[in-house]
Chain A
Amino acid sequence: MSCVSPESKPDWKAYVLRELGQDAHRQAEAHLATCSICHEEVATLRLTLDTLSTLREEEMPRRIAFVSDKVFEPRWWQRVFNPTFAAGVLVAVAILIHGFMGTGHTSQDQVDAAVTKAVSQVEARHMQEIRAMYEELDVRNKQVANMYRNAVLSR
Chain B
Amino acid sequence: MIREQLAVLQVVIPLLAAPCCVLLHRARWAWWLAVAVSIACLAIAIALTAQVSAHGAITYLLGGWAAPWGIEYRIDELSAFILIVVSTINLVTILYAGRSVEQEIDPDRIYLFYTGWILSLTGLLGIAVTGDVFNLFVFLEISSLSSYLLVGLGRDRRCLTAAFQYLVLGTIGATFILIGVGLLYMMTGTLNMADLAARIPAVADTRTVVVALAFFSIGIAIKVALFPLHMWLPNAYTYAPSAVSAFLAGTATKVGVYMLLRIALTVFGVRFSFGDISLQHVLLVMAVLAMVSGSVMAIYQRNVKRVLAYSSVAQIGYMVLGIGLASATGIAASVLHIFNHALMKTALFMVLGAIFYRIGSVALEDLHGIAKRMPWTMAAFVAGGLSIIGVPLTVGFISKWYLLVAAAQQGWWWLAAVILISSLIAVVYIWRIVEAAYFKPLSNAAQDAVEAPLGLLLPTWALVALNVYFGVDATWTASIASRIAVALLGTPG
Our verdict on whether A and B bind, yes or no, reads no
Chain B interface (Cβ < 8 Å from any Cβ of A): none
Chain A interface (Cβ < 8 Å from any Cβ of B): none
